[in-house]
Amino acid sequence: MRRNKPMIDEPKMENAYLSWPNTGLVSARNKTKGVNVVDLFLDDVIGSQFGGVSPKQFNEQISAAGEVDRINLYINSPGGSVFDGIAMYNTLRGAKAEVVVEVTGLAASAASVVMLAGDVRRMAESSFLMIHDPWDMTMGSAEVHRIKSDRLSMYAAKIASIYERHTDLTADQAQEMMSMDKGDGTWFDSEEAIELGFVGEVTEPTKMAAHVTDFVGYFGSRNSVSARTKKIDKRLDFMTRHSLKSR
């Protein structure tokens, strides 16, 4: 069930920051009045093969915080590895602590899956969300390409089932949005994300130290936000043609 407010009141915190070398993962351990909270900042690509954050590093940061009552995860990520994103999602879903997720800039691709692990999900007013079909590269015979194509379809179906579980979309609706523009997918601003049930609240900019990562070139020019937001008419047409499932 999606909630707009955390079960634990926001405490006034004393921070102890931990940084993982050479990654975009930073955490802050907070404790006040017996309430333990860990803040995680996912400000990088997902997956060590892309030079980003691995599930191992992600899990180690959570473990290093010890017993906590709440995990606050702030996301500004272009995504990356499907499998690593799903692993992070499952880690958060299995956590005993309440999980509060906020998108501060971008939650794209695999990062959109990680975002959905939150018991409470928020997006900053000026942030963006993107979902798309999984990508991969193959070399080999026609049979090799056919096998990879079947696997990509399987990955897409699994991701769509996660979207269905946590949003107001059916799996079929999610897959149609993922497959738009030959698999490049669909971009949403914060208001569109809340309408479709990806998040429960749109927030004002968070007052904290800036965590900025340059994602230019990761998606390529045709996937830039300015280019993708030009597809609003096409997206709205889809939304009018498909009634959203009731909760």
Catalytic residue among 81, 132, 166, 190: 132
Active site residue 211: no
**What DSSP string runs through 46-68?**
BSGGGTSB-HHHHHHHHHHT-S-
Contact 24, 43 (CB under 8 A): yes
Catalytic residue among 109, 112, 127, 190: 109
Structure-token pair, residue 218: 């990761």
Strands 25-32 and 15-19: antiparallel
Active site residue 109: yes
Closest CA to 75 of 60, 63, 92: 92
What are the start-end ranges of the E strands in 92-141? 98-108, 120-124, 128-131
Q: For 187-225, b where at least 16 C-beta lie within 10 A, e where not — what string?
A: bbbbebbbebbbbbebbeeeeeeeeebebeebbeeebee
Contact 76, 208 (CB under 8 A): no
Catalytic positions, written as ranges: 109, 132
